[in-house]
Amino acid sequence: MLIDMHSDLPLFAFVDVKADVIPFPCRYRIAKVRRAAVMIEANTDRGAEAYWRRTVSDLRKQMERAGIASCRIDAELRSFFDAVQHEMTRRSYAGQRSRPGGDAA
- DSSP codes joined into one string, 90-103: HHHHHHHH--TT-T
pLDDT reported for residue 74: 96
Between the alpha carbon of residue 35 and those of residues 30, 48, 57, 63, 65, the distances in Å are 8, 12, 16, 19, 23
The answer on pLDDT for 76 being more than 70 is yes
* CB-CB contact of 75 with 26 (8 Å): no
Burial status of residue 37 (CB atoms within 10 A of its CB: 0-12, 13-18, 19 or more):
buried
Quote the CA–CA distance of 99 and 105 in Å, as a whole number: 9
Residue 74: its H or E element: helix 70-97
- Res 96 pLDDT > 70: no
**What confidence score (pLDDT) does residue 102 get?**
60
Tell me the pLDDT tens digit for each residue of 15-55: 777 777 778 899 999 999 999 999 999 989 999 999 999 99
